[in-house]
């Protein structure tokens, strides 16, 4: 029986919000507590759309601090920065020699860019660099170099694992059985996380709830949640309320039942309901906020964690790369 190896990537995107936590982070953190996991900060992946070294670095540090603060299990997780394992980049280059161009043409990231260009009346490859075009090959190298057997992903990322399997198959057919076939583990779909105005939570809409902002910022955002015109005495439908929507993610079953009753029975205004929501979320975030702020004030702690992770990850990567080079180059 092949050894179970879990691999997951963390995309560094800057300041994180509640939507990031509920949509992706929470499931990854929960998963890390049950099995040993390789988890990497995908800084190299960002280069196809972000050419600002300071921002790439800052985003990576923030994402690392965020996952640690929110409870990523550091006993079971090998946490490292993608660019600190150069074997991945070398393997990516080698894998390009067995990867058909037609496969890259079918990549969602490339097709979406082409579709947008054509809709805007531009050349279909306008703004398409080779980092974007060959993104799936680098992703495959990330997965295959550790002999990953399980890759937890969202349903929209299934193609990444399928392409890794395809590329592994192309290689194995030419050079013999070298790579194991990874399997996707589709995370439970929590759907799009609503913002404070009821639309999808997004920085571009300005409707996010900060994950690590201070208490005053969080309170202001929660008190600004859009509601209808019901008076305090009116009965309210909790299932149509953004306030209740958030509360459910952070409360126990008994607390949810009691909070629902305050909507359905009437007699409680939205202002008081928002205050109760703030207390619930703020209580949940108090300890992680302290850990996050300490890490951000002492980035050398984060650097040490990432460096130690790379030291643990590289022997596995180096052994696989050496075997691939021997098979391909003699």
Dump pLDDT digits (tens) for 108-163: 999 999 999 999 999 999 999 999 999 999 999 999 999 999 998 877 789 999 99
- Give the three-class secondary structure for 39: strand
Q: Are 254 and 317 in a shared domain?
A: no
Position 15 scores a pLDDT of 85
Position 315 scores a pLDDT of 97
Q: Name which of 14-18, 55-59, 171-175 the model is least confident about.
A: 14-18
Burial 56-74 (b: 16+ CB within 10 A, else e): bebbbbbbbbbbbbbbbbe
Position 2 scores a pLDDT of 67
Q: Are 263 and 305 in a shared domain?
A: no
Q: Are 177 and 156 in a shared domain?
A: yes
Per the structure, the count of domains in the chain is 2
Residue 198 domain-assigned? no
Q: From CA 232, how far away is CA 120, in angstroms rounded?
A: 48
Between the alpha carbon of residue 83 and those of residues 230, 259, 260, 275, 310, the distances in Å are 53, 47, 48, 44, 9
Q: Which domain holds residue 210?
A: 203-291
Residue 42 domain-assigned? yes
Residue 146 domain-assigned? yes
Position 189 scores a pLDDT of 61
Position 40 scores a pLDDT of 96
pLDDT at 222 over 70: yes
Position 1 scores a pLDDT of 55
Q: Are 116 and 243 in a shared domain?
A: no
CATH number reported for the structural domain that contains residue 242 in this entry: 1.10.240.10
Residue 268 domain-assigned? yes
Q: What is the DSSP letter of 78?
A: E
Q: Can you tell me the mean pLDDT for 216-228?
A: 96
Q: Are 81 and 141 in a shared domain?
A: yes
């Amino acid at each position: 029986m092949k050894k179970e190896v879990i691999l997951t990537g963390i995309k560094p995107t800057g300041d994180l919000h509640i939507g990031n936590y509920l949509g992706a982070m929470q499931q990854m953190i929960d998963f890390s507590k049950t099995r040993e996991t390789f988890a990497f900060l995908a800084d190299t992946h960002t280069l196809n759309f972000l050419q600002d070294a300071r921002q790439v670095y800052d985003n990576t540090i923030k994402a690392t601090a965020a996952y640690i603060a929110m409870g990523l299990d550091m006993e079971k997780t090998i946490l490292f920065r993608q660019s600190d394992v150069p074997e991945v980049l070398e393997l990516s280059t080698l894998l390009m020699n067995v990867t058909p161009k037609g496969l890259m043409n079918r990549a969602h990231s490339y097709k979406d860019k082409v579709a947008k260009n054509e809709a805007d009346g531009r050349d279909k490859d306008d703004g398409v660099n080779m980092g974007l075009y060959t993104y799936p090959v680098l992703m495959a190298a990330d997965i295959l170099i550790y002999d990953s057997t399980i890759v937890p992903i969202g349903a929209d990322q299934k193609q990444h694992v399928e392409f890794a399997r395809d590329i592994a198959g192309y290689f194995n057919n030419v050079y013999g059985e070298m790579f194991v076939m990874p399997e996707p583990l589709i995370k439970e779909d929590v759907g799009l996380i609503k913002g404070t105005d009821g639309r999808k939570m997004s920085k571009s809409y300005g409707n996010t709830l900060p994950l690590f902002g201070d208490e005053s910022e969080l309170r202001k955002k929660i008190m600004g949640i859009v509601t209808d015109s019901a008076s305090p005495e009116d009965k309210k439908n909790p299932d149509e309320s953004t306030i209740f929507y958030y509360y459910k993610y952070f409360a126990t079953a008994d607390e949810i039942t009691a909070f629902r009753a305050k909507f359905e029975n009437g007699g409680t205004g939205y202002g008081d309901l928002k205050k109760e929501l703030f207390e619930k979320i703020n209580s949940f975030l108090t300890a992680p906020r302290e850990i996050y702020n300490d890490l951000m004030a002492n980035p050398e702690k984060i650097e040490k964690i990432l460096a130690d992770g790379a030291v643990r990850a590289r022997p596995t990567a180096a052994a696989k790369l050496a075997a691939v080079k021997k098979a391909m180059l003699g």
